[in-house]
Structure formats: structure tokens, C-alpha cells
Chains A and B, each alone.
Chain A
Amino acid sequence: MHIRLARERPIRQSIRLTSEGGCFSLLVLAIGVVAVHTGNNLFYLLLSMMMSALAVSALAAVFSLRRLEIGRHLPDLLYANEPSPVALVIKNQKRWWPCYALRLMDVAADWSELNRGLVVPHLPSGASRILNYTLVPSRRGLLKLRGVKVSTTFPFGFFDKTAYYPSSAAVPVCPPLKPLPEWFMREVLKAGRERSVHRKGYGSDLYNLRLYQPGDDSRTIHWLTTAKTSQLIVRETEEDRERRATIHLSPLAPDSHDALFEDAVALAAALVCHLIRRGYWLRLVVGSVCSPFGYGDAHQVELLRILALCERQTPSKAMMSPPPDPLWLPDSEPEGAIIVVRAWCQAPIPAARELVSVLDVEALEKGPYVS
């Protein structure tokens, strides 16, 4: 979650008459005509009262939307066609003047308003409110929000006063995640291999003992050996054995394969989530973008972010040669199972030292195709 705070002073304001306000204004006009034609001062008194109500209504509405502080809580990652919680925080910074009947709505990059019925009936001075609403992104990509619109009809409902507080935010929207069946994953991973490596890292087994060096964690001191040798000795552990996989998503696809490319991205995202959940060390290669190997939830978010922002590329002759691995590993570093996801069957497959599982989304409708 991250929070963006808007400024206290709105940069764009507007005010318009409501239907009730329009009728009331017409009534004021009619009474004004009657007052002028009759010269009755009590008509003037009523006219003054109604004009005062209009003026106070406009002034109170303007003052009500001043000195507000608005923040937005957004998830780090959204999923297309899946509801995600968004929280708006509004704080009344005015010292004496409470706010009433506030309506809040997010403003998207194209200035469209996301009106979710967020209403704050009463906001005392100095108080804050949190309002939650559900956001459902319609497609993968980068969701940009410009700011928050606050409007009110306080106090009499004659005017609809709107103020725009800029609070930009951009959140990547991942493709929708669909669970993959186990048999499918078995087929996919059959072509790869699982390797165990012995290397220094975080783990429980002893890997090495060495002299203490400045900067070493004091908790790693091996006291028994230190006592024997009268020198500070630290222990190094052996990294746990991990399974590895590399997912190649080919961005090449003609325009006619746009929907298939989105399916391919969705498949890649499902693979990422599935493999991460199973404890894989995973690497994702999308065109020229390549992530390092990693595991865990943080790494999954990073990979999904790459998938959220990747774009389809129209194939050309220069692109038809097998792409080099942008983060080619040394021979000692295994890359694990290699899974290539393609939206277009003619997209080149990267040359690899290992066996490659190719998933052609174009052909998946007939059944999983693994080569």
C-alpha cells in the first residue's frame, strides 16, 4: 500500500446550480419583479432573505471545500477484472469550520470520474475519515489516477460545488490470474529439470568456518571453535537447495493476435504465481527485460509488475532471429526449467542449454501443446 497526500488548496474549482437551486433562483427573480412593481417593502424583505440564502449557500460551499487534505491508499498491484480495495483518506484542516455532505470521487488519467458513492455526511474540524471503495480495472497495464474530486451541496442544496485536489498515482495492473491444473504444470515442467546446488547462502547446514571479519554478524560467531582456537571464528551456512525455472514470454505477435497476447501474458502470470507458490526460484524474460532469479512474495510482485507493463511488439524481419538471453548465466549457474510462452507460433524460441517447454497460446484451445 502507498499513500499520496494531496495539497490543501485545490487547483481547480467549479460551481453549478442544482435543479432545486435553479427553481429557487427563478422564485427569487419572480419575487424581485413583484417587489419592484408593488414597492412593498416586505416583498423586498423576503427577496433579501432569499438572496441571502443563495449567497450564504454559495459562500458556505466554497469555504467548506477549502483546506482539505486528501490521501489515497492503493495496493501495490492490481489485477485486471478483479476487485481491489482502494481507500481515500480525507482530513479537514480547518480550525473551526466543519464540513458536511462531501462526495468524493477519484479522477482517472482521462479525467473520467470514478464515482463510487463515497459520501462523508459530517467531518468535524481537525477530524479525518477513511472511505473504502472497490476498484475493478478493466484491462492490464498501468492505471493512472490524477487526483480526487470533492463536491458538496452543503448547506442548502442550491449549488453543487466541486474542487479538484491533485493526487497522482500509477499502479500496474496485472493480467487476471487463473489457476492452472496440476496435470498441466506436470506437463510443462516435465521438460525442465530440478537441480540442487551447493553454495553459500542462508540455510541451516554448515558450509564453512572462517576468521571473523569486521562487518560480520556477531550472531554467526562459532563460539566452540573460537574457544578452541582463541580466534574469532564465524560459521557460514549452505544455501538451501532450490528448484529453478525461467519463463520466457515472447512479445512478438501481429496485430491480429492482440487478444492472444493478452492470454499469453495471463498464462505467464499464472505460471509465475504457481511456481512461486511451489517454492521455485524464478526468472522472467520478456523481450529485452529480464529479471534476476528470486523467490517469495516480493519477487512475485516484481515479476507480475513486469508482466503488467509489458507490451506486444509487431514482428519484423530483424526480430525473427532467436533472441539472446539478456542475462545469460555462466555455466556454473543453472537456469532450471525453461518455459517459453508465445502468443504467435512463429515467434523465435531462445537458444538455451536446457530443454525448453514451449506453450503456444494460439494452439492451447485445442489442448496444451508442449514441445
Chain B
Amino acid sequence: MSLEQAFRISSILWAGVSFVALALGTGLPAWLVFFTTVALLVSFARAVGAMAGWFSVPQVVRSAVTWNVLVLAAFFGFVVESLTSGELLYAGLRFLMVLMIMKLFRLRDRGDYLHLHAITVVMMLAAALRADLWYVPLFIAYLALGVWTLFLHGMTRQRGNQPFTTFATTPRQQTTCPSGFEHGEEKVAACFFQMASGLALAVLCLTVLLFYALPRLETRSYHNDDGAVIRTAGFSDSVNLGALGPIKLDPRIVMRVELPDRAIPERKGLYLRGMTFDHYDGRSWVNRLGRRWPIRQTTQGIFALQGQEGGEQMAPELLSRQRILLEPLDTPVLFGAPFMEAVSGKLPAVQVDGGGSFYLPVPVANPLEYTAVSRPTTVLPADLHPSSFPSQYPEEFLRYFTQVPPTSDRIAALARTVAQHARTPYEQAMAVQDYLARHYRYSLALPVSDHTNPLEEFLFKRKTGYCEHYATAMAIMMRTLGVPSRLVTGFLATEWNEYGNYYVVRQQDAHAWVEIYLPHSGWIVMDPTPAGDENVASADGLWLAWTRLIDHLQLRWNRVVVQYSAADQLAIVQGVQTGGAAIGHKVRESFQILLETITGLMEKSVSLLVTATLGQAVATGFTVLVLLGLLRSMWLFRKRSQGKPLGMKEENERAGGPVTQLYEQMLSYLSAQGLQKPTPLGPLQFVNIVRHQWAEVSSMVEAITTLYCKERFGKVPLTLEEYDLARQRLGELRNRTRFASKSDLQRGIGAGNGI
């Protein structure tokens, strides 16, 4: 394959990679993907066909005027689309793709290919707007193909400017790069691949270095926030019963949760608390305590509830930390395990409402990483004992958390029946929870209902529902029993990623549960929802493991590349400074120890010399002299080996050339046949001896000797053909035997020694 053809093919492949990246990233229309694919395939076939001569696609449109008209038409379409749709970016991308299609059909000269290269760069840039983990292999392929294409461009650029000159080749060159540039033709050779791969590796390494070294300026003036936000439900001030049902079929990931204090998952899953609701009107829940007030940030950058300050005042074993990477959602709620008391991270401000839910001022359009500190509650023994049952809660407290809708008589009767044997609120809650879990069936496949009271429909008619129905039923039943309760929406994380040791939380993990207020323990989490029999993510274990591995890589990609920021750079610099200081300290310490050792040895030596006898002093001096002599000998040997003249080295190399070795083998064989070459005899004189004493092989000996003299004394490297000839002659020689018997051989040896 010639360099020109390789350049054409590589350019089209380069464009193909950037097209795949753009198609994956921005969701191009199907017709555009189809036409671009066809254009790429046709261009590739044309390039390959020109090489092999088996495929030829004629130029569809040859006139430059026609092309210009087409470009103008495409530009007109771009203007119209951008004005009508208002999406300038996507209209521009489509215009770019149309330009690429036209360019692919009109690749004629070097300028066309350079235009195609520029388009590929812009396409890769556009693909970066919506990049995900797939961007990694595509980026590496893009880099490798780009380097290879530019390399070929640099090589063929010479030819484009000036014709190649014929030149002579030396045997050394032919052996070094046997498949490249034979007879003055520029062909793609293995050494080209090696050089291009080396350059690509160098570019990749430098790219990584520069990527982390380039200063990140926090002066961004453009935010790309269209279309990336995940729409969710259940996290507004008013939630209709059944609102969580649709999103529980959505497998999109909404957050990932790491537990820095533990490496194994919770047995029952991790509850991630979102919002609380205190008022139920029979069809929907409302948060009447939704008024938010800001939380003051401490000097350490922690947003903590008053008096908590990140939990320093509490025993560490009672705290639970979660490091959460939240995808862009359409709600400002900050999720965390119950009950959140502090958050920290790159947060502009944090607010809290009366239900203890944490909020951002506005929903974010980019992934957000923060750390939540929670205080998990347990039921205190005082709440388990019947004697500690208080007679009454505060009036204000009851007003909010014991409200029931007007038509709940049947529900109250059911609650009393279920909890008739319970003596404490906790026992009542457990009884209701067990009753709901045992007597009702979990299902997401609910028919559309126009019942005026969906809760009664769930409890007495359908007896099938999902988390919202269970939680609402329990909350209302507990309220009818006089126990304060509230509904909580959030997520129940159960999918543990064993590769990255974190929970993967998806939309389908949206959940609703109940919080019951106990007089001594406070709010505790109760979940009456049984495990469902619908397995939304029904897939085999291998596939799930694969998806978890991919998700782990995705998370690493996001953390290491996508969310790399100036703060990370600062942390790296501080780490390097700290490491440098530690290394410097270590070096100083080692040097000091070494100095002390040497000083100690010198002191001992001096004291020994002072107190030594004459014999000891002489022995010591002799030892020192021997050591110095050895050091000098080593130094001289090293200097001689380094300063060996180049000519001497080449002479040695020539003495050990391939034909020389064959010549030595020939002499060895002739010696075994009774023709031993005396040392003072020259090679050509020995040929004469052989000619007289064993004329049958003289032509072979002469041929090998001639080549040996040429290599040994002619200062000309031999070609492969000459080496093959010498080897062939040696093979022929070895097929001949001079003596039929051993006695003849003995006589022959005697004759040979007599030369």
C-alpha cells in the first residue's frame, strides 16, 4: 500500500471515528446517520478499491458549481432550522454532517482531505458535549488514527510539493527496513507503524500530563444544561398518591452512594431520605412544613444543623457518612440516610425545612458530589416498655402529624383491630407494618382508578399496590391510633457495586416509607412495603456484573476526568508539596545518618592508628592501597571499554560476520575430512591446496572463500543473496565425503598435516 492510499484510508477512518462519537453523543436523526454511514462506506470502498482495483465508485457529481450550490442549500437549511427551532447547536451539527457528507463524495486533492480533518475535529468537539464512558475508547482511537493520519500527511506532503528523487540504497538499509521504500518507491512499512505508534503513545502520555496540568479557570460563561436533567417525581410540596409508580419503571441512574465508614452494604438496603409530608387530604400528600431556611456554613465548609457542626458532638459510632454523587435531577432535594444533620461539598448554599429535609436553592444541571452526615435512630428500651407510654403528645405536634382525612372511619376501625393487642406505640406500629406486609400484595401493574378515596380502595378493595399505598396506609392507620407519623419519599438503594464499593441508585429505586414518632426515641423509620415480585432489572447475573463494572468505570471516568476541577489541581499541588517535603526530610535524615556513620568510622580509624602497633598500621595501609588500586583498575577498565575506537568495534563486527562464520564452519568440516588449513596460509592459498587435493569440492570452497574475503577484507557488507549462496555452497560441501573408510581418513589427516 502506498503512502497516499494509506493517507486516504486513514483520513476516512478518522472521520468515521469522530462520526461515531458524535452520533453516540448527540443523537443525530436517523436519516442523517444513514446518509453519513453510506458516504463513509462509499469513500472507504473507493479508497480501498483504488488500491486493490476491485471496487470503483464513480464520482456522482463532478461539477464544482453543483457542489457549491449544494453547500449553499445546506447552509440555507441550517439558517431556516436554527430560526424555526431555536436550537442553534443542533442545527449547526446537522449542517456540519451535511458538509461532511458532501466532502466525502468530493475527496480529490489534499485540500479536500484537510477540510475533512478540520470537520472531524469539530465533530469530536461537539461529541464532547454529551460524552460518556464510551468516549474513552473512541478518544484513544481518534488520537491514534489522528496521529497516523497526520504522520502520513507529513510524509506525503513532501511528495505533494516536490517529486521524490531516485537514490541508491545500501545493503544495511535493506536489512533494516526490508519492506519500505524499495527501489525508490514509498510504501507503508512496518517501521512506519512502529514510528506512528510510538508517536501516538508519546502524544497520549503528554495529553494526560497536559490535561491535569492545564489550569482550570473558574470563569465559565457558558453552561450546557439542556436535556441532561432527569425528571423525577415525589419530591415536590404536593404529591398525588400513585405518582411514584411510573418512575419505578425507569432504570436510569440518579445517584451513587459510597459509605466511607464501611465496605459492605446494608443488609436491608440503604434508605436515602428526600422529603417528608405531613398532611393527607385523601388523594394527595402535602408538606405544610415546607418553609425553608438557610443553614450557615462553618469555616470547614460544612453545612450543619445548629449545634451539630458535622457531628463532632456525637459519638463517632453513632454517625453515618455517605459520599453521594448525584446526577442532575429536576428537584433541589439533597438526599441522605435518615436523619441528615450535615452536608459538605461544592455546594453554593443549603436550606432545610421543618421536616428535616435538605435542599439546594435551585436544582443543579450538572452532577453534584457531596458528603452527608446522618444520625441513624434506634428504638430506645424506654419505648418498648408499656409503663413509659405517655398519655399525650404536644398539641402543636399532634396538629401536624396526626391529621387524618375526613372519610377514614373504616380505616380507623381496621387500625384498632390490627393493633388491639399492642401496648405501646412501637408495638402498634410493628403490628400495622406486619399486617400490611402480610395481607397485601405488591404490584406496579395497577389499573387506572377514578376512586374518590384511593387509600380505601387499596385497603379494602384492590389490596394491591406499591410503596406509596403501603406507606400512606400505615401513616394514616397510625394517626388514627394517635401515634404521630409522616410519609417520606426518597430512594431505597439495594444495588451494591462490588467493584467500586458503592450503591447504585436508579429511578426505579424511588421509594416511600413512614416515619413514626416515639416519645423517647423520636422519629424512627418504618417500612411496611414487602418485597415486590416484579423484577424490573430482570437479567442474568453475568450481565448485571458487567453493567456494574461498566458503571464503576463510568464513575471513575466522571471523577477523574469529567469533574476534574481547580480544587483537584490544588489538592494535587498540596499533595506534591507534602510529598516533596517528606522526601526532602527523609533525604536529610539519611544524609545525616550517613555523615554520622562516616564520622564515627573516621574517629575509630584515627584512634586505632594512634594506638596501633607498627604491624597493624602497615596492614591497614596495605589494605587501603589495595582498595585504591582495585578502584583505579575498575575505572581504567570502564574508561577503556567506553573509549574503544569505532573502527576497532567495526573490525570486530566484520570479523564475526555471517559469511565468516560459514567460512569457519567450512574449515572445520574440511579439517574433519583431513584438509586442515595451516595458520600462516592465506585463504586463497588454501583454495589452491584444496584444488589439488580434493578437486571435487574446490568450486564450493572457492565460492565461500571469495565471499569470505569480500566480507572480511573488502569492507563491503554482503547482501542476503550472497549469504544464501555461501550457505548453499556449504550445504553442498557437507554432502560430499572425501574418504570412504576410517583408515583413509587417518591417512588423509596425515597428508593434510604435511602441507
Cβ of A39: which chain B residues have Cβ within 8 Å of it?
Answer: 216-218, 220
- CB of A56, distance to nearest CB on chain B (Å): 5
With contacts A27-B118, A40-B129, A124-B191 known, is A60 near B199, CB below 8 A?
Answer: yes
Cβ of A136: which chain B residues have Cβ within 8 Å of it?
Answer: none
Report A30-56 residues with CB < 8 Å from chain B CB: 31, 34, 36-53, 55-56
A49, B114: Cβ atoms closer than 8 Å: no
B216, A124: Cβ atoms closer than 8 Å: no
**A154 within 8 Å of B (CB atoms):** yes
With contacts A38-B224, A42-B131, A98-B195 known, is A122 near B562, CB below 8 A?
Answer: no
Nearest CB in chain A to that of B25: its residue? A42
**B31 within 8 Å of A (CB atoms):** no
**A153 within 8 Å of B (CB atoms):** yes
With contacts A56-B203, A56-B206 known, is A122 near B214, CB below 8 A?
Answer: no
Cβ of A132: which chain B residues have Cβ within 8 Å of it?
Answer: 165-167
Contact with A along B648-683 (1 / 0, CB 8 A): 000000000000000000000000000000000000
**A128 within 8 Å of B (CB atoms):** yes
- CB of B136, distance to nearest CB on chain A (Å): 10
- CB of B425, distance to nearest CB on chain A (Å): 52
B162, A117: Cβ atoms closer than 8 Å: yes
With contacts A31-B125, A47-B214, A153-B154 known, is A118 near B165, CB below 8 A?
Answer: yes
Report A1-50 residues with CB < 8 Å from chain B CB: 20, 23, 27, 31, 34, 36-50
**Residue with the highest number of chain B CB atoms closer than 10 Å, among A20, A130, A131, A132:** A20
- CB of A185, distance to nearest CB on chain B (Å): 41
With contacts A53-B146, A127-B173 known, is A133 near B154, CB below 8 A?
Answer: no
Interchain CA distance A25-B489 in the complex, whole Å: 53
**Residue with the highest number of chain B CB atoms closer than 10 Å, among A39, A51, A103, A118:** A39
**A119 within 8 Å of B (CB atoms):** yes
Contact with A along B320-355 (1 / 0, CB 8 A): 000000000000000000000000000000000000
B186, A49: Cβ atoms closer than 8 Å: no
Nearest CB in chain B to that of A61: its residue? B154
Interface size class of B (residues with CB under 8 A): 35 or more
B155, A100: Cβ atoms closer than 8 Å: yes
A126, B176: Cβ atoms closer than 8 Å: yes
Nearest CB in chain B to that of A97: its residue? B195
Cβ of A20: which chain B residues have Cβ within 8 Å of it?
Answer: 114, 153, 157
Cβ of A155: which chain B residues have Cβ within 8 Å of it?
Answer: 150-151, 154, 195, 199
**A129 within 8 Å of B (CB atoms):** yes
Interchain CA distance A117-B155 in the complex, whole Å: 15
Interchain CA distance A311-B303 in the complex, whole Å: 97
**B172 within 8 Å of A (CB atoms):** yes
Cβ of B172: which chain A residues have Cβ within 8 Å of it?
Answer: 124, 126-128
Partner of B173, one of A27, A37, A116, A124: A124
Chain A residue total in the interface (Cβ 8 A): 52
Report A136-164 residues with CB < 8 Å from chain B CB: 153-157
Nearest CB in chain A to that of B131: its residue? A42
**B64 within 8 Å of A (CB atoms):** no
Cβ of B419: which chain A residues have Cβ within 8 Å of it?
Answer: none
With contacts A122-B180, A128-B170, A133-B165 known, is A53 near B203, CB below 8 A?
Answer: yes
With contacts A42-B135, A157-B153 known, is A119 near B199, CB below 8 A?
Answer: no
Report B550-591 residues with CB < 8 Å from chain A CB: 561-564
Nearest CB in chain B to that of A31: its residue? B125
**B91 within 8 Å of A (CB atoms):** no
Contact with A along B135-154 (1 / 0, CB 8 A): 10001000100110011011
Cβ of A23: which chain B residues have Cβ within 8 Å of it?
Answer: 114, 118
Nearest CB in chain B to that of A42: its residue? B128
Partner of A131, one of B163, B165, B222, B223: B165
Report B487-504 residues with CB < 8 Å from chain A CB: none
**B63 within 8 Å of A (CB atoms):** no
Cβ of A130: which chain B residues have Cβ within 8 Å of it?
Answer: 167-168
Partner of A37, one of B143, B164, B170, B222: B222
**A169 within 8 Å of B (CB atoms):** no
**B210 within 8 Å of A (CB atoms):** yes
Report B451-501 residues with CB < 8 Å from chain A CB: none
A120, B167: Cβ atoms closer than 8 Å: yes
- CB of B590, distance to nearest CB on chain A (Å): 36
Cβ of A56: which chain B residues have Cβ within 8 Å of it?
Answer: 199, 202-203, 206
Cβ of A119: which chain B residues have Cβ within 8 Å of it?
Answer: 158-159, 162, 164-165
Cβ of B154: which chain A residues have Cβ within 8 Å of it?
Answer: 100-101, 153-157
Contact with B along A333-360 (1 / 0, CB 8 A): 0000000000000000000000000000
**B177 within 8 Å of A (CB atoms):** yes
**A83 within 8 Å of B (CB atoms):** no
**B121 within 8 Å of A (CB atoms):** yes
**B235 within 8 Å of A (CB atoms):** no
Please provide the 10 A-B residue pairs with the shortest distance between their CB atoms, ordered closest to farther: A42-B128, A39-B220, A52-B206, A48-B210, A157-B154, A156-B150, A124-B176, A48-B211, A127-B173, A117-B162
Residues of A within 8 A of B (CB): 20, 23, 27, 31, 34, 36-53, 55-56, 60, 98, 100-101, 103, 116-122, 124-133, 153-157
Interface contacts beyond A43-B125, A53-B147, A156-B150: sample of 20 additional A-B pairs, CB < 8 Å, sorted by A = A23-B118, A31-B125, A36-B217, A37-B219, A38-B222, A40-B128, A41-B562, A43-B128, A44-B214, A46-B125, A49-B203, A52-B204, A52-B207, A56-B206, A98-B177, A121-B181, A124-B177, A129-B173, A130-B167, A132-B166
